[in-house]
Amino acid sequence: MDEKYFAKKIEDKWQTKWRESGAFEVEETDAKPKFYQLEMLPYPSGNLHMGHVRNYSVGDALAWYKRLKGFNVLHPIGWDSFGQPAEDAAIKRGVNPREWTEENIEHMRGQLQRLGLGYDWRREMAAHRPDYYKFDQWFFLKMYEMGLAYKKRTQVNWCEHDQAVLSNEQASGGLCWRCGNPVTKKDLEQWFLKTTAYADQLLDDMAEIEAGWAEKVLKRQRDWIGRSEGAFVDFKVAQTDEKIRVFTTRIDTIYGANAIVVAAEHRIVEHHFARFSDETKAVIEKIRAEKLKVTDHEAEIEKEGVDTGLKAINPFSGEELPVWIGNYVMIEYGTGAVMSVPAHDERDFEFAKKYGLPIRQVISEPQLAHEHSQMQVLELEQAFTDYGVLVHSDYWNGKPSEGAKKEMTEYAVKHGFGEAATTYRLRDWGISRQRFWGSPIPIVYCEKCGVVPEKYENLPVLLPDDVAITGTGESPLARVPEFVNANCPDCGEPARRETDTMDTFVDSCWYYFRYLDNQNPELPFAPERAAYWTPVDQYIGGDDHAVMHLIYTRFWTKAMRDIGLVKFDEPVKRLLTQGMVIGETFFDVIPNEDDPESKGKRVYYPPANVTVERDAKGKIVSARSADGKELQTAVERMSKSKGNGVDPDEMVEIYGADAARIFVLFAAPVENELVWNEAGIEGAVRFLQRVWRFVHKWVVSERWSAVGGRPEPSEFSAEARKLRQKTHQTIRRIEESFESLQFNTPVAALMELSNALYDFRVEPEAATDADVYAVREAVESLVLMLAPFAPHAAEELYAQLAGNENGMLANEARFPEYRAELAKADEIEIPVQVNGKLRARVLASPDASNEDLERLALADAKVAEHTSGKQIAKVIVVPKRLVNIVVK
């Protein structure tokens, strides 16, 4: 055994041994309980970043822990390898996207292996390979049969910069999620998956996973689905036979309606457009144009509208109401029309104030209801949006408004002008992309037969390999005649193939099921495989996927259940969302000049080329580039383009994979952001070296192997008993940490145990049998518990302790056994307070009675100083914890 720890030497060795022995390869077995440990798969951009290192270090630690605890642990990895960067590389550099992707995977697989991550590599999948995307297409056909996949012409979110269609999620805030440029609208025929069919299940099944998912993720999903219960109410348009249907959650306020407000795109506007005045038309055009623009998050949008001159009849009161067009009514939500009740809705209030529309209160605080019902006009300072008691509402006067909702809805139903309704914010998922690098949608358009799904036996619809990709306009596939020209699967006549490909979020919906059975040529996976391994026990990834990926995959699971592939509703039992890894960035902003393309853009400088001045607290005072330019600074997500990325390979080279992994876990709790700062990593190296040196000192001594058998309890010195106590307390603490998904505290606990070994100042030569036994117990436990954090060092030390390399931690070791009787101290220190202030500490047996503790405390000299001359009013004794003496 080397006297010093050399990461490089042992890491290569154990990585090879693990690979050759298939240490992390698992099969289904009833001999052990299963555990499916999953981390979000990487996009093969070419390089791992620190976020990956963090994510996968956490996952591997947990996989190791569960393995040590006797579970049959499945821990796979794969590649989310369809997507835009490959296509961008093809456009910019003329490379073949498949080759580019394969090369990146090759390199990144090496990076993962050099980190010593324990994956079952036989199960690897990659989305861009035909044996995978074949089943994207298989699922599409199933969903088509089930009516879950359909085509419609719609306005889609369109990013001009990326020449791509975006989902609502990807275009949220009016900016492209990828490039940050404004999103516009465009009319296109698109394929959709009917996520709304499962809207209620997506909400209600959250009860099944509540315990294992962070509330903030569930909340975002709940908001995203946005179910709201209310009613549709039809308002007749006077002097026509038309109706305007509105959606409201507050039908109880209907007597307070002062207008009907519709979106500029509403059917009724279209219908009467020709008869509107030029002024009205101008307002409508303006509102429509504004909607195509970017929504600026900061600025509150000024309410705008115009009276159409049309009148609608309130079906409850018979009152005639003006029909307005308002920019605050959205065509996409509800019916695109609302009844405006300014007294009880803030938006309507604002609108009514601006245009001088009447504001009539019809809901009142219960205690004021009588008074209000006597008054004709009620001036309101602001909208009253709470429930209360109805006033000025005919028959309904005096009724509590919350209960009246149900009755009034029933009334509307009975009289044929309304119905109960539930609406959702969630929209169906548009999956068509005018892109090359994705799964082709398996549909053929035949002149005779129409839209025809490809036959299962013809899957996969293969992506051609040799295509010039220019990045302009329609799908590159449309320009490949060999691809486009197909025969109709039904009639066999020449037909045209769909040239859109699927959103890459389709791939990540079910990839973790493919790991279970990645060679299956017939099915995405065999149901019996899924029955053994899934649901996933623990999923780990960034919370940036809280709504997109994690909603889509829940939707997909429900569809798979209905197809008959799985028997559960929810695919992931526990979800851990890790914080981002961020770092300081330095940049210069291009001033507003003629070129609109680059105006306001940031030009990043790598930190290595920046001279930074800091104040005493480490805050940056100024930063200058090499050529003397004053730079701005920020703390942002680490990435190559911002120049603040850290290369994992470099870290492994300098410090070793084990130290890098320990550091990334130790530096901050997983959920927190991790501000990258290399200073601390040396501490991780030092810790490993300390453990190493200690083990070395004892292993090479003659006493180490000369002693066997467990000594009698009486043979242990007080110090040795203390060491054993620390050992068993540490075992307990580390178990608890893992169970509660903490990774920084168990590292601290291991460091403490290692410090306790150094504090045990008995040299091997002078050690009694009992001393050697206590040290051995501590060291063996330490090494086993080190495995999840620093597996290479742990394997090497384990072999050193055994004196041979016949066994491996990876497949034979068990977590050390916690023994409560040893964790218990002989003597404990009890703090003694006088009037809540700490004044002394007394030593006592852990079994001491309250009376004993009180007597000990009062007998203490320091305590006496603070109590002398005063009257003892009360003594509080908390068993095993503290004594507090209250004096007057």
Partner RNA sequence: GCUUGGGUGGCGGAAUAGGUAGACGCACAGGACUUAAAAUCCUGUGUCCUUCGGGGCGUGCGGGUUCGAUUCCCGCCCUAAGCACCA
Per CB under 7 A, which of residues 313..342 are in contact with RNA?
Answer: 327-330, 333-334, 336, 338-339
Nearer to RNA, 707 or 762 (CB): 762
In the complex with RNA, the residue whose CB is nearer, 478 or 882, is 882
Residue 777 token pair: 């117990």
Per rule CB under 7 A, is residue 833 in the interface with RNA? yes
Q: How far is the CB of 250 from RNA (least distance, A)?
A: 5
Helices 97-114, 7-21: inter-axial angle, 10-degree rounding: 110
CA-nearest of 440, 524, 522, 521 to 486 is 440
* DSSP, res 211: T
Considering only the stretches 68-76, 141-149, 156-164, 292-300, report the one whose residues sit in contact with RNA under the rule CB under 7 A. Answer: 292-300
Binding residue (CB under 7 A) for RNA from 154, 184, 201, 228: 228
| Nearest CB to RNA, comparing residues 225 and 652 | 225
Distance CA 886, CA 888 (A): 7
Contacts of 606 (CB under 8 A, 6+ apart): 643, 644
Site for RNA in 336-395 (CB under 7 A): 336, 338-339, 345, 347
**Cα 380 to Cα 290: distance, rounded to the nearest angstrom:** 31
Are 133 and 82 a contacting pair, CB within 8 Å?
A: yes
Amino acid letter, 23: A
Nearer to RNA, 523 or 878 (CB): 878
Residues 655-714 that bind RNA (CB under 7 A): 666-669, 672-673, 675, 677, 679-680, 682-683, 686-687, 689-690
423 binds RNA (CB under 7 A): yes
Cβ-contact 658, 793 below 8 angstroms: yes
Contact segment (CB under 7 A) with RNA among 67-75, 139-147, 194-202, 880-888 equals 880-888
Among residues 555, 575, 669, the alpha carbon closest in space to that of 218 is found at: 575
Q: Does 153 bind RNA (CB under 7 A)?
A: no
Binding mask 501-540 for RNA (x = CB under 7 A): ----------------------------------------
Q: How far apart are CA 187 and CA 3, in angstroms?
A: 71
Provide, rounded to whole angstroms, the least separation between the CB of residue 197 and RNA: 18
Interatomic CA distance for residues 693 and 110, integer angstroms: 30
Q: Please, which residues have CB within 8 angstroms of residue 536's CB and are 6 or more apart in sequence?
A: 36, 38, 512, 571, 572, 573
**Least CB distance to RNA at residue 219 (A):** 6
Nearer to RNA, 672 or 850 (CB): 672
Q: How many helices (H) and strands (E) does the chain have?
A: 29, 33
| CB 740 to RNA: min, Å | 8
Contact 76, 119 (CB under 8 A): yes
Q: Which residues in 157-186 contact RNA (CB under 7 A)?
A: 172-173
In the bound state with RNA, the residue whose beta carbon lies nearer, of 425 and 574, is 425
Nearest-approach distance from CB 626 to RNA, in angstroms: 25
How far apart are CB 851 and RNA at their closest, in Å? 17
Q: Does 615 bind RNA (CB under 7 A)?
A: no
What would the DSSP string read from start to end of 3-71?
A: SS--HHHHHHHHHHHHHHHTTT-----SSS-EEEEEEPPPP-SSS--HHHHHHHHHHHHHHHHHHHTT-
* DSSP E strand stretches across 479-564: 485-487, 494-497, 501-502, 536-542
- Least Å distance, CB 877 to RNA, is 9
Q: Shortest gap between Cβ of 227 and RNA (angstroms)?
A: 9
Nearer to RNA, 263 or 389 (CB): 263
Of 97 and 541, CB closest to RNA: 541
Dihedral angle of Cα 677, 683, 689, 693, to the nearest 10 degrees: 180
Binding residues with RNA: total (CB under 7 A): 80
Closest approach, Cβ 777 to RNA, in A, equals 20
Q: How far is the CB of 825 from RNA (least distance, A)?
A: 10
* Among 220-228, 365-373, 502-510, 594-602, the segment contacting RNA (CB under 7 A): 220-228
Neighbours of 567 (CB within 10 A): 12
User: Toward RNA, which CB reaches closer, 626 or 876?
Assistant: 876
Q: Residue from 20, 27, 215, 457 that binds RNA (CB under 7 A)?
A: 215
CA dist 29 and 51 (Å) reads 34
Residue 243 contacts RNA per CB under 7 A: no
Q: 749 or 809: whose CB is closer to RNA? A: 749
Q: Least separation, in Å, of the C-beta of 323 and RNA?
A: 15
Q: Kindly state the helix (H) or strand (E) to which residue 261 belongs, with its residue range.
A: strand 259-262
Which positions ≥6 away from 265 have C-beta within 8 Å? 288, 331, 336
H or E, element range at 333: none
Contact code string over 112-151 relative to RNA, x by CB under 7 A: ----------------------------------------
Interface with RNA in residues 425-484 (CB under 7 A): 425
Interacting residues of 110 by C-beta distance below 8 A, sequence separation 6+: none
Residue 587 phi, psi dihedral angles, 5° rounding: -150, 165
* Out of 147, 481, 628, 836, the residue judged to bind RNA by CB under 7 A: 836
Peptide bond into 460 cis (omega under 30): yes
Q: Is 2 in the site for RNA (CB under 7 A)?
A: no
Question: Which of the residues 715 through 774 are near RNA (CB under 7 A)?
Answer: 742, 744-745, 747-748, 751-752, 755, 758
